């Protein structure tokens, strides 16, 4: 990652210094297209609806409903208030005012990523939602992506991608006002840019090339395991698939099936004596997606500590979570699932605690506070309590 961070640093600095001018120049350099306007207009959004099949619009709406349902139910309470009698304490969740979403694009369209980022942001109550996505060869945004952004309530759309988009959202330009939170997946350069700007703006997580791990015992169907590998490897040449199985037969069949389709794909298969050993291997990798196809998948799941999102059983493909079931597909990759979670409404919130203490409550605490404060050499901390009570 250090190599990519060094490559991205000049891009970040150029955007910070030159603003819109840098965005236009870098878009021509990296995307091969000269754009005359950075912001997407209402007319372009209206035109996009005319170019998208009604059935696709319906599919977006239905997927949005499922994602909203799951993220609404799992959203943290806005106000947790506990009355201890002589003390009232609590925690409030407050949305960020302005969030920036990075949506991969250019040669392909990823409306599902719009759903996965904009829906939680809206549920959280973000005031202004901004989206950046790379333009195509004609300097336009894919119509399906634009429709998804409109359906999900994105307020501002900009035709700029890569590290330069991350820099624009983090530091602002003449056209793009800076944000407080950046969320969304991208290539290795986007991930590097997010890590660089994270000292100045909050990010969701490092989310680079896609990956999957499948835990499979001897009862698993080899074709199902292979299909999960193929679904991940088709993302891009840097996508990775891992298989941890207790069956040499499954390992051999999956290897052949996958290599027939993607001979150069990044595929790693390991055979273990016990499924418990396979779980330990999975925890050491901390994969973005973990698929468990075993006889007792719930028992196996209990031993999982590190994964972005887990899919249990033969009929729970990663693609369901990618598009329609309701969970999120913006997940930590490259082992970052050890310390990061996937995107949710909470991603776009921050919390603050509060307290109201009665005189009687402070009297109970005063001796503790005074002793600890003076032990740390902080006399006025102690006096701030004692003088109140005189």
Q: What is the pLDDT of residues 150-181, one digit of tens each?
A: 999 999 999 999 999 999 999 999 999 999 99
Q: Which domain holds residue 160?
A: 2-204
Interacting residues of 234 by C-beta distance below 8 A, sequence separation 6+? 262
Find out whether 284 is annotated in a ligand binding site: no
Same domain, 282 and 310: yes
Same domain, 112 and 253: no
Same domain, 40 and 183: yes
Judge whether 206 and 191 are in contact, CB under 8 Å: yes
Same domain, 108 and 77: yes
From CA 133, how far away is CA 165, in angstroms rounded?
8
Mean pLDDT of 207-214: 90
Same domain, 147 and 198: yes
Among residues 142, 289, 297, 329, which one is catalytic?
A: 289
DSSP state of 345: G
In a domain? residue 347: no
Same domain, 130 and 226: no
The 10 Å Cβ neighbour count of residue 381 is 15
In a domain? residue 346: no
Question: CA quadruple 153, 156, 162, 165: dihedral positive or negative?
Answer: negative
Interacting residues of 289 by C-beta distance below 8 A, sequence separation 6+? 210, 211, 212, 213, 232, 307, 308, 309, 310, 311, 318, 321, 331
Find out whether 49 is annotated in a ligand binding site: no
Same domain, 19 and 69: yes
In a domain? residue 350: no
Same domain, 235 and 175: no
In a domain? residue 249: yes
Angle, helices 143-151/54-73, rounded to nearest 10 degrees? 40
Same domain, 73 and 198: yes
CATH number, domain of 279, equals 3.40.50.1980
Q: 95 in the Ramachandran plot: left (φ > 0), alpha (ψ -120 to 50) or beta? A: beta
**What strands, in cross-sheet order, belong to the sheet with 156-158?**
156-158, 128-132, 98-102, 181-183, 202-203
- Tens of pLDDT, residues 227-249: 999 999 998 888 999 999 999 99
Same domain, 194 and 215: no
- Tens of pLDDT, residues 335-379: 999 999 999 999 999 999 999 999 999 999 999 999 999 999 999
- Tens of pLDDT, residues 314-339: 999 999 999 999 999 999 999 999 99
In a domain? residue 344: no
From CA 65, how far away is CA 61, in angstroms rounded?
6
Same domain, 270 and 376: no
Among residues 68, 156, 228, 288, which one is catalytic?
A: 288
In a domain? residue 353: no
Total H helices, total E strands in the chain: 15, 13
Residue after which a domain boundary falls, among 204, 227, 248: 204
The 10 Å Cβ neighbour count of residue 74 is 15
In a domain? residue 333: yes
- Please indicate, yes or no, whether the overall pTM of this predicted structure exceeds 0.85: yes
Find out whether 355 is annotated in a ligand binding site: no
CA 183-290-325 angle, 5° bins: 65
From CA 272, how far away is CA 276, in angstroms rounded?
9
Find out whether 210 is annotated in a ligand binding site: yes
Q: Based on the structure, what is the number of domains in the chain?
A: 3
289 included as an active-site residue: yes
Same domain, 327 and 240: yes
68 included as an active-site residue: no
In a domain? residue 227: yes
Residue after which a domain boundary falls, among 155, 174, 204: 204
């Amino acid at each position: 990652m250090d190599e990519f961070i060094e490559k991205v640093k000049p891009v970040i600095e150029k955007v910070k210094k030159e603003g819109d001018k840098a965005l236009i120049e870098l878009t021509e350099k990296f995307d091969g297209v000269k754009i005359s306007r950075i912001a997407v207009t209402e007319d372009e959004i209206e035109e996009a609806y005319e170019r998208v099949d009604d059935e696709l619009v319906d599919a977006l709406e239905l997927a949005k409903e499922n994602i909203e349902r799951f993220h609404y139910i799992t959203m943290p309470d806005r106000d947790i208030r506990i009355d201890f009698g002589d003390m009232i304490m609590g925690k409030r969740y407050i949305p960020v005012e302005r969030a920036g979403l990075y949506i991969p694009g250019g040669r392909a369209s990823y409306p599902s990523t719009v759903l996965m980022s904009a829906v939680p942001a809206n549920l959280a109550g973000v005031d202004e939602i901004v989206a950046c996505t790379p333009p195509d060869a004609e300097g336009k945004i894919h119509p399906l992506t634009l429709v998804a952004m409109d359906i999900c309530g994105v307020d501002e759309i900009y035709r700029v991608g890569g590290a330069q988009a991350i820099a624009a959202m983090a530091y602002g330009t003449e056209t793009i006002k800076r944000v407080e939170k950046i969320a969304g997946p991208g290539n290795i350069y986007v991930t590097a840019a997010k890590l660089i700007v994270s000292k100045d703006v909050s990010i969701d997580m490092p989310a680079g090339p896609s990956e999957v791990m499948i835990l499979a015992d001897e009862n698993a169907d080899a074709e199902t395991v292979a299909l999960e590998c193929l679904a991940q490897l088709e993302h891009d040449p840097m996508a990775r698939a891992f298989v941890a199985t207790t069956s040499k037969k499954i390992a051999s069949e999956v290897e052949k099936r996958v290599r027939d389709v993607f001979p150069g794909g990044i595929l790693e298969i390991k055979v273990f004596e016990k499924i418990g050993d396979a779980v330990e291997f999975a925890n050491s990798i901390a994969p973005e997606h973990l698929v468990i196809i075993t006889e007792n998948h719930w028992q196996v799941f209990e031993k999982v500590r590190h994964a972005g999102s887990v899919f249990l059983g033969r009929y729970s493909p990663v693609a369901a979570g990618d598009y329609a079931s309701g969970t999120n597909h913006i997940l930590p990759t490259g082992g970052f699932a050890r310390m990061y979670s996937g995107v949710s409404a909470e991603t776009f919130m921050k919390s603050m605690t509060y307290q109201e203490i009665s005189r009687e409550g402070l009297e109970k605490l005063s001796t503790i506070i005074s002793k600890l404060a003076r032990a740390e050499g902080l006399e006025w901390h102690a006096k701030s309590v004692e003088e109140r009570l005189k």
